[in-house]
Homo-oligomer: A and B are copies of this chain.
C-alpha cells in the first residue's frame, strides 16, 4: 500500500479540496449577502427545473445532489414551507412522492443564478484560456 503523502493522486485531491472549500465559502457568503438562500437550495431547484413537468422523486434528487436521504426529506420540507416546491404522492409508487418546482421556485432560482455565477467567476481570478478550460474539464471528467 502506498502511504506516501505526496503521491500524485493525493496531491490532486488535496488541491481540489482546497479549491472547492475556498470557492464554496465565497459563493455562500455572496448569496447570503444578497439575501438569498444557500447553494444547496439552488442545486435542488435547478434539478427540479430541469426535470420539468414530470417532477422528481426524492430519490432522484438524492442521486443528483449527493445529499443524504434524510437531508433531502427535510430540505424538501423547507422548500415546500417557502412555497418553492410542491410534494405530490407518486402515482405509481405508494411509498414516495414526486416533487415539482413552483413558479416562485423558478423565480428564486433565476434570481440566484447571476449572484452564483458571478461569485464563482470572482473566486477563480486566474483567466485560463478556453483551451486550458477544455483540458481541465476533460481531465476532471476522467476522475
Contacts and interface: CB of A to CB of B under 8 A. Distances in A.
A16 B16 contact: yes
A134 to B, nearest CB: 8
Candidate in A10, A126, A135, A140 with the most chain B CB atoms within 10 angstroms: A140
Q: How would you classify the secondary structure of chain A's contact residues: helix, strand, loop or mixed?
A: helix
Contacts of A35: none
Candidate in A3, A12, A25 with the most chain B CB atoms within 10 angstroms: A12
Interface residues of A, number: 44
Nearest to A126: B142
Interface of A: 1-3, 5, 7-13, 15-25, 66, 113-114, 117-118, 120-121, 124, 126, 128, 130, 132-137, 139-143
